[in-house]
């Protein structure tokens, strides 16, 4: 009996000396709409280590490529330790200084991304990525949606603030603060019409030529920036690295636009459309296999009709896509509501129509086609040439997409 008591005493003493040896808990998170396993782990910086995926499956008793249930709580491969107020090494029972430094940087990064609400030094809750203690060397290279792309987030420099720098938006708008995570896990493909060898529809205002592709591109950039600001992954499929978001009424016409990945646009219209739909479909499959469940393509054009005909912003969807129809009506309702607020003297008369257009028929993503104005009509031109109006269009479209 004395021997048993002695052994029991030693056991309690060991537990008291090494609290880090106790089995820690794992961080719980609620699955949001559009979340897949890859997108969820990527959000928390865990996507470059295969052991994190394996552990996620084990913790949640899931099979590979399982779908996540919106609103359900899942355990992430992030171990939760109590920070002792001294050092990370003594808090979790390790000796390696470099590992402790990486864990500290990880917690700071999660705080900056607003994944954490407080610093671990304040709430004494330390997040330790599973891979840091089990497989510290990255062994996965799943391409990021913005890898090698100008809207890739760049590290801060001595002349920039923060680290949410997206050069595609131009020097003035490159820094894009994260306003919310409402669109986390959702993927958008933003396609402005025409470009490269084809300026699209053209209008005249005084001595100036208005090119459809330039105004559609500027609104598309502003919408893309809005989406990124609320946590979405957004691809600019049509792109002009020289322009960025532009100010003023008259945007110079040029012919140097390319497609995502630096692909030069061909002259013939049909092959050029297939270039775009093929790029979107390739990205769509990559993201689908990574677990993304909600992918949307937004195609932005400026219409051309009789000079005396006014139009409001209107929308097309494919007849075989109820999901696209729903998004189109969300966008319509958003603009109608805004017109009631800001254009009380004039009723909004936009429409939603089913059409068998290439970009609606051939893209795998849920796709909506938008016509902003009649570029030949003097009154409609104001909707796109006035800079504030271009921003309002992007803002109001964002509100519709956030529904």
The total number of structural domains that make up the chain: 2
Interior/surface letters 248-263, b for 16+ CB within 10 angstroms, e for the rest: eeebeeeeebebbeee
> At 302, which CATH number?
3.40.630.40
308 within domain boundaries: yes
Statement to judge: residues 247 and 303 lie in one domain:
yes
Sorted by sequence, the CB contacts under 8 Å of residue 212 that are 6+ apart come out as 193, 194, 199, 200, 201, 202, 301, 302, 304, 375
Statement to judge: residues 202 and 340 lie in one domain:
yes
CA–CA distance from 283 to each of 86, 135, 143, 187 (Å)?
46, 29, 10, 10
Statement to judge: residues 365 and 254 lie in one domain:
yes
Statement to judge: residues 197 and 106 lie in one domain:
no
Statement to judge: residues 186 and 263 lie in one domain:
yes
Q: Give the separation between CA 308 and CA 380, rounded to whole angstroms.
A: 10
> What pLDDT is attached to residue 262?
87
Statement to judge: residues 114 and 178 lie in one domain:
no
> What pLDDT is attached to residue 33?
63
Q: Pick from 134, 154, 183: which residue ends a domain? A: 134
Q: Give the separation between CA 6 and CA 42, rounded to whole angstroms.
A: 49
> What pLDDT is attached to residue 23?
59
> What pLDDT is attached to residue 34?
56
> What pLDDT is attached to residue 65?
61
204 within domain boundaries: yes
Statement to judge: residues 245 and 292 lie in one domain:
yes
Statement to judge: residues 256 and 395 lie in one domain:
yes
The string of pLDDT tens digits covering residues 300-340 is 999 999 999 999 999 999 999 999 999 999 999 999 999 88
Statement to judge: residues 186 and 279 lie in one domain:
yes
The string of pLDDT tens digits covering residues 78-123 is 999 999 999 999 999 999 999 999 999 999 999 988 889 999 999 9
Domain span at 46: 17-134
Statement to judge: residues 202 and 110 lie in one domain:
no
> What pLDDT is attached to residue 137?
86
267 within domain boundaries: yes
pTM listed for this prediction: 0.64
**Cβ(276)–Cβ(220) below 8 Å:** no
> What pLDDT is attached to residue 342?
78
11 within domain boundaries: no
24 within domain boundaries: yes
Rounded to 5 degrees, what are φ and ψ at 303?
-75, 165
Statement to judge: residues 183 and 114 lie in one domain:
no
Spans of the chain below 50 pLDDT: 1-21, 142-162
234 within domain boundaries: yes
155 within domain boundaries: no
> What pLDDT is attached to residue 140?
64
Statement to judge: residues 226 and 305 lie in one domain:
yes
142 within domain boundaries: no
């Amino acid at each position: 009996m004395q021997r048993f008591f002695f052994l029991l005493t030693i056991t309690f003493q060991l537990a008291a000396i090494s609290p880090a040896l106790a089995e820690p808990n794992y961080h719980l998170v609620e699955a949001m709409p559009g979340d897949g396993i890859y997108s969820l782990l990527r959000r928390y910086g865990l996507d470059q280590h295969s052991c994190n995926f394996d552990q996620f499956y084990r913790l949640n008793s899931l099979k590979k490529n399982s779908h996540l249930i919106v609103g359900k709580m899942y355990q992430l491969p992030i171990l939760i330790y109590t920070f002792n107020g001294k050092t990370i090494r003594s808090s979790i029972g390790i000796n390696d200084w470099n590992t402790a430094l990486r864990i500290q940087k990880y917690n700071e990064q999660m705080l900056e991304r607003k994944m954490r609400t407080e610093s671990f030094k304040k709430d004494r809750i330390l997040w330790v990525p599973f891979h840091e203690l089990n497989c510290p060397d990255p062994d996965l290279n799943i391409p990021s949606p913005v890898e090698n792309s100008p809207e890739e987030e760049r590290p801060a420099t001595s002349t920039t603030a923060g680290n949410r720098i997206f050069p595609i938006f131009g020097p003035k708008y490159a820094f894009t603060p994260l306003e919310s995570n409402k669109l986390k896990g959702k993927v958008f493909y933003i396609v402005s019409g025409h470009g490269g060898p084809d300026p699209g529809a053209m209008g005249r205002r005084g001595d100036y030529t208005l090119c459809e592709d330039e105004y559609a591109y500027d609104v598309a950039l502003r919408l893309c920036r809005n989406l990124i600001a609320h946590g979405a992954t957004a691809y600019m499929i049509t792109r002009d690295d020289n322009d960025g978001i532009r100010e003023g009424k008259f945007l110079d016409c040029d012919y140097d636009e390319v497609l995502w990945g630096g692909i030069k646009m061909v002259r013939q219209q049909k092959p050029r459309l297939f270039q775009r739909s093929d790029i979107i479909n390739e990205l769509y499959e990559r993201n689908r296999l990574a677990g993304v469940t909600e992918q949307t393509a937004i195609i932005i054009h400026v219409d051309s009709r009789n000079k005396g005909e006014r139009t409001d912003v209107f929308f097309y969807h494919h007849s075989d896509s109820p999901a696209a129809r729903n998004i189109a009506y969300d966008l319509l309702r958003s603009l109608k509501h805004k017109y009631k607020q800001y254009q009380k003297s004039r009723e909004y008369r936009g429409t939603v129509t089913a059409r068998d257009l290439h970009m609606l028929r051939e893209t795998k993503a849920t796709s909506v086609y938008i016509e902003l104005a009649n570029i030949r009509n003097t009154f409609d031109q104001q909707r796109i040439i006035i800079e504030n109006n271009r921003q309002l269009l992007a803002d109001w479209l964002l509100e519709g997409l956030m529904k």
